Amino acid sequence: MRALLLALICGALPLAAHARLEVVATLPDLAALAREVGGDAVAVTALVDPNEDPHYVDPKPSLVLPLNRADLLIVNGLELEVGWLPPLQVAARNGNIQTGADGYFDASSVVDRLNVPGGKVDRAQGDIHPGGNPHFVFDPRAAARIATALGDRMARLDPTHAEQYRANAKALHDRLDDLAERERARFAALPAAQRQVVIYHDSLPYLADWLGLTPVAFVEPRPGIPPTPPHVAKVLQRMKKAEARVILQEAFYPKKTSETLARLAGGRVVVLEGGARFGAGDTYSARITRVAEAIHAALSR
Amino acid sequence: MNRERAWAALCGLALGAALPARGAPPPDDPGLDPAEQAALAAALQADAATVEDAVHPAPVVVAAGAGSSNPDISLVLDTAGAWFSDAPAQLGGHDPNRTGFVLQQLEMNVVSNVDPFFRFEANIVFAEFGVEVEEAYATSLALPGNLQLRAGQFLTRFGRLNPTHPHAWDFVDQPLVNGKFFGSEGSRGLGAEVSWLSPLPWYAELAGALTNAHNACCARSFYGGDDLGVEDPRDLLATLTLKQFFDLSRTWGLKVGLSTQLGPNPTGQGNRTDIYGADLYLRYRDPGSRGALSLQVEGMVRSRQAPDDRLQDAGGYAQLVWDIDPEWGVGARYEYVSGVEDDPLDPAWATARQRASAQVTWWPSHFSRLRLQGNHDRLPDRDDPLWGAMLALEVVVGAHGAHGY
């Protein structure tokens, strides 16, 4: 019995010299990028489910375990994870991944930020992020820059595979830039009036910027504040006036209001996937292509 | 439920008049026909009613301005109006404890990494009676061997509720068993703690702390208000805990804890008090939604060596909390704490005390909540039940840190 117990405990001990770089990413999109850059030299874990609102993640103690083993933690940054990640980071007892360490990679540090508030940030404006809008994984141009920076960071942490990381990162960067340009051109071929959209939560400025979409209204009156009847009535009026037909939202927001607005304005709702289905082997390129495809199909109907 | 109805239901205030009535054109009339307005109103209600979208595991967050090296500082204001059918008998230091208005607390929370090795955290509480350093401690970030050190003044990790602050609680007041066994401010003290994350494939964490055994507010089963000094390590208060978490499925999580607290009491040389506790937290939440249902149960037994006697009592609570959507939550709690004849600490507590509570919470945003709670309290020394009602407002400003599971 005692031998069995000992075997169990020893079997569970992490191997002292694990061969692969242990990478933990908060968002499944970032995890998918890390896997493409790292290839078979890294083991990647995503903390957030693709259908989960990354603002509101239950800080389950089980999430401490991958963080405890991690050589590299990839966060989105701009306070997207501030509601749940910091206590997990402390509980992980892992100096490698503390904020500022080499094994802490903040993706927002390498992208061009949008919606950076000027002047004082006041919460009467809703739940806004003082450093800028954090939802840049919707833009493959941002993802391309993240891939390159990740390649450099992995090379620094694991010099034996440095060449492989940098080569993978370069190839991924180029693929994402091509994809971004191809889709941008395809959307640009649509008339500007047809590229008007309504967005549920102000989480898609990067997507709008990439694909040349013009948001005419948000279903939420202010970020994080649920819609009210007078506000929704105004949204409908604006949709009708601008002849915007398409409402974009992420899967974790409620859909009835958007569906009703779409019906009354003679349009449709496009529900965007929250992230790559990382656990099922999905790639970032595949997921972002599906997003662009779904929006293009809705706009051209 | 829409915002107007929320106000009406919770406050009973005639605010509805100030807001656009349903069906009537709002001030800037968008010119919709009644059918369109009805359809939108129905859709809004349907969305609000889905368990989809919502819960605030606790009021959250937003950190300090980018590029600033200041610590994250936040203020939490808890204030309440309360009514009791007879003389109040609340045990918690932050509980509404009179008929009328109460400042439960104004808590200033300061958090920052010190350097790559330590994180600093302090909770300074301003109350009606003055200012108190409730907690101020440093936590190590990178000790080898999965160890972690905490030193300073801190809440011990006994059980589930004790290590947390009132604004992480689902109910307005502190459970009776915590007040009776630990004190009005819960179990806390000056000392040091070592914890260890085990290498098991599930989360299992062991922690042991040594703290001073005196303080009327926070170690009443031990030296309490009498500082009898430390001549032996056994004159300190030892707290040992084991916490484990199991991911039962994608949606269900179970956290269980075992705790014990061992220390000296002031009734005579070598007289000891032992407290043992077990706690359970079962939570359902679909990651694709923000609604959640959670069951929390905590029980403890206490044994005190008094000069000629061994006094034994027990207590606990069970609570069920349903976070319905981003704006609404409800909860119910039942408490039972046994009594002891001729208890030197609680002479009037000869038989069991039972309390039942129910609460409704409304969150206008992540940073504010309004709670209405009712209590039905059966005290051992009173013939009639004590009824209580509280309406508590909590607001959070500044960069407030995240809460644990």
Does B279 lie at the interface with A, CB-CB under 8 angstroms? Answer: no
Domains annotated for chain A, with CATH where assigned, are 18-180 (3.40.50.1980), 183-300 (3.40.50.1980)
Cβ(B142)–Cβ(B117) below 8 Å: yes
Does B285 lie at the interface with A, CB-CB under 8 angstroms? Answer: yes
CB contacts of A84 in chain B (<8 Å) are 402
> Does residue A242 have a pLDDT over 80?
yes
> Does residue A48 have a pLDDT over 50?
yes
Nearest alpha carbon to residue B142 among B170, B176, B116: B116
CA distance B82 to chain A (A): 28
Predicted pLDDT at B4: 44
Q: List the end-to-end C-alpha distance of chain B, in Å, as a whole number.
A: 28
Angle, vertex CA A115, rays to CA A110 and CA A121, nearest 5: 110
Which stretches within B25-76 are classed as H helix? 34-49
Nearest alpha carbon to residue B207 among B228, B219, B191: B191
Q: How far is CA B50 from CA A225, A241, A269, in A?
A: 16, 31, 18
Predicted pLDDT at A293: 96
> Does residue A13 have a pLDDT over 50?
no
Closest residue in B to A253 (Cα) is B53
User: pLDDT grade, residue B40 (50/70/90)?
Assistant: confident
Predicted pLDDT at B254: 98
User: pLDDT grade, residue A165 (50/70/90)?
Assistant: very high
Residues B167-178: what's their mean pLDDT? 97
Does A260 lie at the interface with B, CB-CB under 8 angstroms? Answer: yes
Residue extents of the structural domains in chain B: 3-24+32-48, 50-398
Predicted pLDDT at A2: 54
CB contacts of A125 in chain B (<8 Å) are none
Predicted pLDDT at B10: 39
B74 Rama sector, left if φ>0, alpha if ψ -120 to 50, beta otherwise: beta
CB contacts of A94 in chain B (<8 Å) are 142
Both tokens of A279, joined, read: 């656990």
Predicted pLDDT at B37: 82
- Is 1.10.1040.10 the CATH classification of the domain at B50-398? no
Q: How far is CA A230 from CA A226, A269, B18, B19, B104, in A?
A: 12, 21, 13, 10, 36
Closest residue in A to B34 (Cα) is A233
User: pLDDT grade, residue A150 (50/70/90)?
Assistant: very high
User: pLDDT grade, residue B27 (50/70/90)?
Assistant: very low
Say what the ipTM of the complex is.
0.85
Among the ranges given (A92-106, A159-173, A217-231, B203-217), the one the predictor scored with the smallest mean pLDDT: A217-231
Predicted pLDDT at A120: 73
Among the ranges given (A24-33, B28-37, B106-115), the one the predictor scored with the smallest mean pLDDT: B28-37
What amino acid occupies position B33? D
pLDDT, tens digit (0-9, with 9 covering 90-100), for B326-365:
889 999 999 999 999 999 999 999 999 999 999 999 998 8
Does B366 lie at the interface with A, CB-CB under 8 angstroms? Answer: yes
> Does residue B116 have a pLDDT over 60?
yes
Rounded CA separation B105/B128 (Å): 8
- Write out residues 144-203 of A within 8 Å (CB-CB) of B: none
Q: How far is CA A160 from CA A19, A157, B87, in A?
A: 11, 9, 73
Rounded CA separation A90/B119 (Å): 8
Cβ(B80)–Cβ(B392) below 8 Å: yes
Cβ(B79)–Cβ(B104) below 8 Å: yes
Higher local confidence (pLDDT), B9 or B201: B201
Cβ–Cβ gap A225/B283 under 8 Å: no
Cβ–Cβ gap B57/A58 under 8 Å: yes
User: pLDDT grade, residue B68 (50/70/90)?
Assistant: low
Does B62 lie at the interface with A, CB-CB under 8 angstroms? Answer: yes
pLDDT, tens digit (0-9, with 9 covering 90-100), for A111-148:
999 988 877 777 777 777 788 899 999 999 999 999 99
User: pLDDT grade, residue B63 (50/70/90)?
Assistant: very low
Cβ(A119)–Cβ(A6) below 8 Å: no
> Does residue B24 have a pLDDT over 60?
no
Q: List the end-to-end C-alpha distance of chain A, in Å, as a whole number.
A: 68
Cβ–Cβ gap A234/B65 under 8 Å: no
Does A58 lie at the interface with B, CB-CB under 8 angstroms? Answer: yes
User: pLDDT grade, residue A153 (50/70/90)?
Assistant: very high
Rounded CA separation B350/B338 (Å): 8
Rounded CA separation A41/A39 (Å): 5
Does B401 lie at the interface with A, CB-CB under 8 angstroms? Answer: yes
Predicted pLDDT at B23: 40
- Interface probe, candidates B7, B160, B194, B290, chain A, greatest A C-beta count within 10 A: B290
Rounded CA separation A200/A217 (Å): 8
CA distance B199 to chain A (A): 5
> Does residue B183 have a pLDDT over 60?
yes
Nearest alpha carbon to residue B402 among B51, B74, B69: B74
Predicted pLDDT at B55: 36
pLDDT, tens digit (0-9, with 9 covering 90-100), for B220-229:
999 999 989 9
Does B112 lie at the interface with A, CB-CB under 8 angstroms? Answer: no
HSE (side-chain half, CA atoms, 13 Å) at A31: 22
Q: What percent of chain A has pLDDT over 70?
A: 94
Helix (H) or strand (E) holding B388: strand B386-398
Measured in whole angstroms, the distance separating CA B59 from the mean position of its chain's CA atoms is 12
Predicted pLDDT at B30: 60
* Cβ neighbours of B13 (radius 10 Å): 10
